[in-house]
Amino acid sequence: MHDVLQAKPTLETADIAHYMQQLGQSAKAATRVLAHSPTVLKNQALRDIHAALAASRDIILAANAQDMQQGRNSNLETALLDRLELTPARFDGMLQGLHDVIALPDPIGAITDLTYRPSGIQLGKMRVPLGVVGMIYESRPNVTLEAASLAIKSGNAIILRGGSEAFFSNQAIAGCVQTGLKQAGLPETAVQLIQTTNRAAVGELITLVDYVDIIVPRGGRSLIERILREARIPVIKHLDGNCHTFVEKQADLTKAYDICLNAKTHRYGVCNAMETLLIEAAIANEFLPKMAALFLQKGVELRGCPEVCALVAEAKPATEQDWHEEYLAPVLAVKIVCGIDEAITHINHYGSHHTDVILTENYALARQFLAEVDSSSVMVNASSRFADGFEYGLGAEIGISTDKIHARGPVGLEGLTSQKWIVLGSGQIRA
Amino acid sequence: MHDVLQAKPTLETADIAHYMQQLGQSAKAATRVLAHSPTVLKNQALRDIHAALAASRDIILAANAQDMQQGRNSNLETALLDRLELTPARFDGMLQGLHDVIALPDPIGAITDLTYRPSGIQLGKMRVPLGVVGMIYESRPNVTLEAASLAIKSGNAIILRGGSEAFFSNQAIAGCVQTGLKQAGLPETAVQLIQTTNRAAVGELITLVDYVDIIVPRGGRSLIERILREARIPVIKHLDGNCHTFVEKQADLTKAYDICLNAKTHRYGVCNAMETLLIEAAIANEFLPKMAALFLQKGVELRGCPEVCALVAEAKPATEQDWHEEYLAPVLAVKIVCGIDEAITHINHYGSHHTDVILTENYALARQFLAEVDSSSVMVNASSRFADGFEYGLGAEIGISTDKIHARGPVGLEGLTSQKWIVLGSGQIRA
């Protein structure tokens, strides 16, 4: 294991294409075994990975300390350093997440909707793996294990491209994953970590049309946009989370104060945090001043429309850009709207179709909001912070899709699968 | 309606980009109505379209006759002319297909999997339209109506780009569709036919990222490959149908003769026709000579491996290319294999992952074939010709996907939809 503490290998760009082709080929070869491995074998591999990680705890934490040191030396920004750090608690949480994935039902092979057609054939659908997943992510080393464990459980192979800032941590974790796969008798190449920090490797990965079936990028907007431009393979993309909460005039305000405070201040740097608060005019006088005071106590900067600024002295005037903004910071845009239609129009226009919430006790308006807001998660009387693979019971999440195609919202095991049609006949021919 | 008989408008390429932007904008605007139109209204529009088509029967058939005449003048190949022709019988079949779509359940708004999470939130999924569909197809004018009716029923808007050879037919049919939409009080721009035969329009359509949510191409390989290269929008692609039938040694041979004959000779020019026949060695002497005789009676040319040529004098030696070939013609590649493993390996390597069939009475081998063949339709003891949206009960099909992402195999209403998460809470906040 100590080889992870060696210097980062730096492949010549000229060699990258050949290297990535090799990774693709061996990943594809691994799928031929993984796709048809029984649940008990896949779970055994995950348990062996758990054991290997537990046994290498000190080495992994040392590798992470090395990444943290290099990060500080290269003045990595604090938010990234925070995501990069593998505290003992986070390490234990990572291992617990592995237990959660082991406990999930195996989606592969499930046959549904078996029905007889007038022709006499029996038609159904069987769930199957996608094949090879290309995962591109930054900083958080635990993503290495989450992605690997979901890929194994769903019978896929995965090629991992972690951020260079987490190079040693990812090496150490991926090494344990391959040890576990080997012990269980599954191909180590089911999970491969790209062994170079050369950026050209990403360009190769997202164009390996012969070997890679889907690309899952997790990272900043510039990374995602580059991948969308250059990828020749389907991408499950996760763009901004500009999440709204609309406080309708029939909302239970005692709930509203708690939910809005939780949605904004529970964590600032996450994609499911509230970035814009919409308040119906009829209750603004009653609700806004007290709500604003709670935010200001927490040190949240408020940027409001003129009506908001008239009610809250501390609020700064919001610009057009504020309605588009994903702050990921203690800043909140606040707008007073005349009713649900204006709220829905605002959300569908300025929002990022991630997660949006209505607070109301009115049955018809709750149904209208659920139907008409075009977002991957639409909620009634709950904090937007619940839009999360763990809270949704997916065990782990490979990402959160802001796309409509294939997978939407938090993506777990099922997002890494597809369904094929099966036909059970008894000699039928087409008339 | 007679304006459809005017000459084809030829927009300057310079104007195409602006023209396509307009189509995209008005399609997007139409989705805001379509997405939330009740089932009864969408069905009324489909019935009004049916009435408009019935009333314009003569005009449509005249427009088609005009396309056919131009096709003959420009020496369009016979296969294309056949697909282009709208016989009275095909016209009636087209209207019947509309009834089938009206009879389909409306997928939009369906809420499934509503379950309580430990946090107390109730989590479920709601089915929603994709938005705007870009449909690119050739010759068959009835695709215009099939695609339009599926888009309307699933609450989507659609932009249609038919082949120039079917220009007048498509104009006449699309005109009736818009008449029906208008009569029902739905936006005519829910279904728009591109009013120019300028090829630049396709390049614009597949890059309208702000307005178009998915591209569905139906046509020849060169068209599909151009779209895959240039599209900046997700594509549900339909590539080759190189379909196999494997006659396993425990097959019921009386069924096998009928099924193989049906799979190859029921229709030659279709994607779900058998192109390669695999026969287990143990039964080759008994099965192949009689099967070959039946094919030769029908005028099917046989291209075989050496073992096949040794048993069938009329068979020509197959080249490596023959195993890859989608003949769409009375030609069949025939190979003798030593067993199911060789058959599956051959199919997964040379096949196009469209539709593949095993003929066997052996339970374990049937299950193995179903699990291990990586195709959008996998069948036991039935003709590959059943791989079809109508036979699968989809009412109509927008296409047959050879992709694994989003939709696989025949794509009907559900392939034009997505699911969003909904959360019903009662004041929950994230701990």
For A20, the token pair is 């990535």
Per the CB < 8 Å rule, is A409 touching B420? yes
Interface test with B, best of A270, A422, A424 (most B CBs within 10 A): A422
So what's the pLDDT on residue B197? Answer: 87
Task: Check pLDDT > 90 for residue A133.
Answer: yes
State the Cα–Cα distance between residues A166 and A168, nearest whole angstrom. Answer: 6
For B49, the token pair is 């379209």
For the segment B184-236, what is each residue's pLDDT rounded down to a tens digit? Answer: 999 999 999 999 888 899 999 999 999 999 999 988 788 888 898 889 888 98
Question: B84 by DSSP, 3-state: which?
Answer: helix
Query: Among residues of chain A, what percentage have pLDDT more than 90?
Result: 84
- B-chain residue closest to A123, CA distance: B392
Nearest to B262 among A258, A387, A429 (CB): A429
> How far does the CA of residue B201 sit from the closest CA of chain A (Å)?
21
Per the CB < 8 Å rule, is B422 touching A378? yes
So what's the pLDDT on residue B304? Answer: 98
Per the CB < 8 Å rule, is B123 touching A392? yes
* CA dihedral sign of residues B201, B207, B212, B213: positive
- A-chain residue closest to B265, CA distance: A430
State the Cα–Cα distance between residues A280 and A287, nearest whole angstrom. Answer: 10
> How far does the CA of residue B28 sit from the closest CA of chain A (Å)?
12
Q: Kindly list the distances between the CA atom of residue A117 and the CA atoms of A107, A428, B91, B388, B389, in Å, as whole numbers in the listed order.
A: 25, 11, 25, 12, 12
> How far does the CA of residue B256 sit from the closest CA of chain A (Å)?
8
Task: Check pLDDT > 80 for residue A38.
Answer: yes
Per the CB < 8 Å rule, is B427 touching A381? yes
- A-chain residue closest to B404, CA distance: A418
| CB A31 within 8 Å of CB A136 | no
What is the β-pairing status of strands B355-359 and B243-247?
parallel
Q: Kindly list the distances between the CA atom of residue B7 and the CA atoms of A319, B70, B372, in Å, as whole numbers in the listed order.
A: 51, 12, 53
State the Cα–Cα distance between residues A22 and B124, nearest whole angstrom. Answer: 41
Interface test with A, best of B125, B369, B404 (most A CBs within 10 A): B404
State the Cα–Cα distance between residues A406 and A428, nearest whole angstrom. Answer: 32
Nearest to A371 among B36, B121, B232 (CB): B36
Lowest-pLDDT range of A166-175, A287-296, B194-203:
B194-203
So what's the pLDDT on residue B11? Answer: 67
So what's the pLDDT on residue B4? Answer: 40
Nearest to A130 among B371, B404, B427 (CB): B404
State the Cα–Cα distance between residues A371 and B408, nearest whole angstrom. Answer: 27
Of residues A407 and B379, more confidence is placed in: B379
Q: Which amino acid is at A421?
A: W
Query: Among residues of chain B, what percentage have pLDDT more than 90?
Result: 84
Element (H, E) at B226: helix B221-230
State the Cα–Cα distance between residues A286 and B50, nearest whole angstrom. Answer: 55
Task: Check pLDDT > 70 for residue A161.
Answer: yes
Interface test with A, best of B100, B210, B271, B423 (most A CBs within 10 A): B423
Q: Which of A305, A271, A302, A282 is nearest to A375 (CA)?
A: A271
pTM for the whole structure? 0.90
**Which residues of chain A neighbour B263 with C-beta distances below 8 Å?**
429
State the Cα–Cα distance between residues B108 and B129, nearest whole angstrom. Answer: 7
State the Cα–Cα distance between residues A415 and B345, nearest whole angstrom. Answer: 27
**Which residues of chain A neighbour B258 with C-beta distances below 8 Å?**
427, 429
Lowest-pLDDT range of A93-107, A353-367, B313-327, B401-415:
B401-415
Report CA A115 to chain centroid distance, whole Å.
Answer: 35
> How far does the CA of residue B318 sit from the closest CA of chain A (Å)?
26
So what's the pLDDT on residue B3? Answer: 40
**Which residues of chain B neighbour A228 with C-beta distances below 8 Å?**
232
**Which residues of chain B neighbour A422 with C-beta distances below 8 Å?**
370, 377-379
Tally A–B CB contacts below 8 A. Answer: 203
For B302, the token pair is 């046989």
Per the CB < 8 Å rule, is B406 touching A410? no
Task: Check pLDDT > 70 for residue B419.
Answer: yes
Question: B399 by DSSP, 3-state: which?
Answer: strand
Nearest to A420 among B109, B377, B381 (CB): B377
Of residues A194 and B397, more confidence is placed in: A194
* CA dihedral sign of residues A301, A307, A311, A317: positive
So what's the pLDDT on residue B370? Answer: 97
- A-chain residue closest to B35, CA distance: A372
Task: Check pLDDT > 50 for residue A321.
Answer: yes
For the segment B255-288, what is each residue's pLDDT rounded down to a tens digit? Answer: 999 999 999 999 998 899 999 999 999 999 999 9
Q: How large is the greatest C-alpha to C-alpha distance in chain A, in angstroms?
A: 79
Which residues, including other chains, have CB under 8 Å from residue B277's CB and lie 6 or more apart?
A: B244, B245, B247, B260, B264, B291, B332, B333, B334, B335
Cα angle at B273 between B326 and B382, to 5 degrees?
140
Q: Which amino acid is at A278?
A: L
Q: Which of B231, B201, B233, B235 is nearest to B216 (CA)?
A: B235
First to last CA, chain B: 64
Per the CB < 8 Å rule, is A420 touching B405? no
- A-chain residue closest to B359, CA distance: A427
Place of tokens 């649940």: A39
pLDDT band at A3 (very low <50, low <70, confident <90, very high): very low
| CB B56 within 8 Å of CB B2 | no
Task: Check pLDDT > 80 for residue A2.
Answer: no
Could you give the domains of chain A?
A: 2-236+411-423 (3.40.605.10), 243-386 (3.40.309.10)
What is the β-pairing status of strands B301-304 and B316-317?
parallel
Nearest to A378 among B374, B379, B420 (CB): B420
Average pLDDT over residues B125-140: 94
> How far does the CA of residue A8 sit from the closest CA of chain B (Å)?
35
So what's the pLDDT on residue B9? Answer: 60
Task: Check pLDDT > 60 for residue A5.
Answer: no
For A98, the token pair is 């592995």
pLDDT band at B2 (very low <50, low <70, confident <90, very high): very low
- A-chain residue closest to B129, CA distance: A404
Q: What is the ipTM of this complex?
A: 0.91
> How far does the CA of residue A189 sit from the closest CA of chain B (Å)?
20
So what's the pLDDT on residue B10? Answer: 62
Average pLDDT over residues A100-109: 95
Per the CB < 8 Å rule, is B430 touching A386? yes
State the Cα–Cα distance between residues A31 and A133, nearest whole angstrom. Answer: 10
Per the CB < 8 Å rule, is B428 touching A386? yes
Nearest to A252 among B35, B386, B427 (CB): B427
**Which residues of chain B neighbour A34 with C-beta distances below 8 Å?**
none
Task: Check pLDDT > 90 for residue A307.
Answer: yes
Interface test with A, best of B355, B406, B421 (most A CBs within 10 A): B421
Q: Kindly list the distances between the CA atom of residue A187 and the CA atoms of A152, A157, B348, in Å, as whole numbers in the listed order.
A: 11, 9, 20
State the Cα–Cα distance between residues A273 and B353, nearest whole angstrom. Answer: 42
Nearest to B370 among A228, A232, A422 (CB): A422
**Which residues of chain B neighbour A385 with C-beta distances below 8 Å?**
429-430
SS3 labels along chain A? CHHHHCCCCCCCHHHHHHHHHHHHHHHHHHHHHHCCCCHHHHHHHHHHHHHHHHHCHHHHHHHHHHHHHHHHHCCCCHHHHHHHCCCHHHHHHHHHHHHHHHHCCCCCCCEEEEEECCCCCEEEEEEEECCEEEEECCCCCHHHHHHHHHHHHCCCEEEEECCHHHHHHHHHHHHHHHHHHHHHCCCHHHEEECCCCCCHHHHHHCCCCCCCCEEEECCCHHHHHHHHHHCCCCECCCCCCCEEEEECCCCCHHHHHHHHHHHHHCCCCCCCCEEEEEEEHHHHHHHHHHHHHHHHHCCCEEEECHHHHHHCCCCEECCHHHHHCCCCCCEEEEEEECCHHHHHHHHHHHCCCCEEEEECCCHHHHHHHHHHCCCCEEEEEECHHHCCCCCCCCCCCCEEECCCCCCCEEECCHHHEEEEEEEEEEEECCC
> How far does the CA of residue B333 sit from the closest CA of chain A (Å)?
20
Beta strands across the sheet bearing A122-129 = A111-116, A122-129, A417-428, B377-382, B355-359, B243-247, B274-280, B331-337, B301-304, B316-317
CB atoms within 10 A of CB A74: 9
Is residue B50 packed enough to be buried (19+ CB in 10 Å), middle (13-18) or exposed (0-12)?
A: buried
Average pLDDT over residues A295-318: 98
Per the CB < 8 Å rule, is B421 touching A409? yes
pLDDT band at A238 (very low <50, low <70, confident <90, very high): confident
Interface test with B, best of A230, A357, A421, A426 (most B CBs within 10 A): A421
* CA dihedral sign of residues B130, A342, B187, B125: positive
So what's the pLDDT on residue A1? Answer: 36
Element (H, E) at B52: helix B39-55
Nearest to B382 among A378, A385, A425 (CB): A425
Report CA B210 to chain centroid distance, whole Å.
Answer: 25
Per the CB < 8 Å rule, is B405 touching A405? yes
So what's the pLDDT on residue B369? Answer: 98
So what's the pLDDT on residue A10? Answer: 62
Nearest to B404 among A213, A381, A425 (CB): A213
Q: How large is the greatest C-alpha to C-alpha distance in chain B, in angstroms?
A: 79
- Kindly report the average pLDDT of chain A as a whole number: 94
